[in-house]
Amino acid sequence: MEKRTALAILLIAVVYWFSAQYLWKPASPVQNTVGKTHTEPMDRVSDIQMTSSDRNQILLQDSDKDREDDIILSNSKMKISFSNVGAVINKVILNDFELSAHQQVNLIPDHRSILQITDLLPDINERVFDYTKSFENNRQTITFEIISNEHDIVFRKRFVMHDDYLIEMFLEGENLPNFDSYTLSMNSGISVTETNKAAIKDMKNSFKIVSQINWELRSIPLSKLSKGAAPFTGSVNWAAVRSKYFTMAIIPDEPVMATSLNPNLIGETMGFDLKIKYSHPLTNLNDQYKIYLGPVVYHNLKKYDNGMENIAEFGAKWLRWLAKLFLIFIQFLHKYIGNYGVVIIIFALILKFLLSPLTNKALNAGKQMQKIQPYVKEIQTKYKDIKKQQEELRKLYKEHKVNPLGGCLPLLLQMPIFFALYPVLRYSIEFRQASFFGWLSDLSEPDPYWVLPIAMGIFMFVQQKMTQTAQDTSQMDEKQLAMVQSQKMMLYMMPPFMVFIFSSLPAGLVLYWTTFNVFSIIQQYFLNKKNKKEGKI
């Protein structure tokens, strides 16, 4: 392998690491930037003008029901558990997803809850609500209600369950004390569902608050939130907290102006408060929210047509289109092939086939460059003037029809493919707990025994060996000998270095790279055989 080719490989590794740490952020959707004004219907204004100073004097009527923390709405996708204390959600069980201990995923950590309302009525989150279950337009509905006989105050939280991972929440209030704002909380945090060492280490990057405010994407990972964060202000289109594979998102029925989103640290994860502020005091309330509670699946989020698909992690902005294309194609293959490991191998084979014409041309260019190296060194020795030296080298390349950068082309082609595949295999829930065989029980996580990275390093060494040609060192000066020695060092040092880098990458990505290298070795073997037969080498 030429020195510049080896350096190109090193550059790929460095660029990958730097991009993974600092550059791969979700893209901002381009949408209409005109905010919507939240208008209030006339019937929201009551004749009762109770001031906020009267708020603490209100006596809410106690429910005749005991505390219940397991009031259930369910469909084929999930089971939601409500508490009648505060009318909050305390469990979201996803039927199709399991923890490593064969327990179903619960998005809300134990002893926590979401959708508390503050700044409307005193102690409302500690009060026991009356509730009724019913069907509304053939959908399961639960309505929580609390009243005050003294002031004819009525406050309701009504939840309607849809067929997938969506519920709707209606906030309804009558004769409330004057208010011009309230806070809706998603401060339970989100459960840690992946407990292996690599996933725990990656939590600070994979756990995020993601929102779209004034039609611009805003996000903050756990790593930055731990250092503190200012509230996001503006018209909130939606707001979500996400883990590596799951998310809990709130979508206002229409964006609310002058709203702030406060990200918060919640134990080892994160949550947020959504503050809704109105332009004038109100006594009646009638707001509606959609709430998505489920996996981060691109097509599930895309159907809302509001930018929520950007909750999914697809890497750098300039490669998101390619990552999405890869995911769609891999999902298509998986319809016919049940094992994702086999799908990745076939995917690598197809890519190798598509890139073969360019790769053959590049490999031949690399061989030709090695063949003319004696002439290159002769020119470099003969001409000390850099301009003259470059002019003679250009003539040499033109005479032998050689592109000096041709040997790096396969690596340059691999870089965007590699970077696009990384977020697909690392963060797509399709690969969560997707096994190949034996010890490879989760292709989205690193190989626990380094078998694949070591195999990749071995095949990489073999491929480098096959691309080298014997060089006569008897006529070389000290500078040229030093260059040859440097190339030899790169040959033996680069594979172990890449093994170390790849040991922390998803096993699916290492499987792809290893498979691609094996196909490259086979291609190189037959190409060398053909060139030898034709006398080109």
- What confidence tens digit (pLDDT) does each residue in 371-407 have? 777 777 777 777 777 777 778 777 777 777 776 665 5
Confidence of residue 426 (pLDDT cuts 50, 70, 90): confident
Q: Check: CB of residue 323 under 8 Å from CB of residue 418.
A: no
Closest CA to 429 of 292, 307, 330: 330
Q: Check: CB of residue 433 under 8 Å from CB of residue 323.
A: no
Which residue do the tokens 């997803």 mark? 97
Sign of CA dihedral 440, 442, 446, 449: negative
In this model, does residue 216 exceed pLDDT 60?
A: yes
Q: What is the pTM of this model?
A: 0.79
- What b/e sequence results for 342-357 when a residue is b if at least 16 CB atoms lie within 10 Å of its CB, and e otherwise? ebbbebbeebbeebee
Condensed to tens digits (0 to 9), the pLDDT of residues 241-297 reads 999 999 999 999 876 655 788 999 998 899 999 988 888 888 999 999 999 999 999
Encoded tokens for 325: 């294309």
State mean pLDDT over 90-112.
90
What is the overall mean pLDDT for the chain?
80
In this model, does residue 43 exceed pLDDT 70?
A: no
Encoded tokens for 41: 């219907």
User: d(Cα 310, Cα 435) in Å, to the nearest integer?
Assistant: 27
Confidence of residue 14 (pLDDT cuts 50, 70, 90): low
Which residue do the tokens 């909050």 mark? 88
User: d(Cα 390, Cα 19) in Å, to the nearest integer?
Assistant: 34
State mean pLDDT over 412-420.
80
Which residues make Cβ contacts (< 8 Å) with residue 53, sequence separation at least 6? none
Encoded tokens for 197: 């060492």
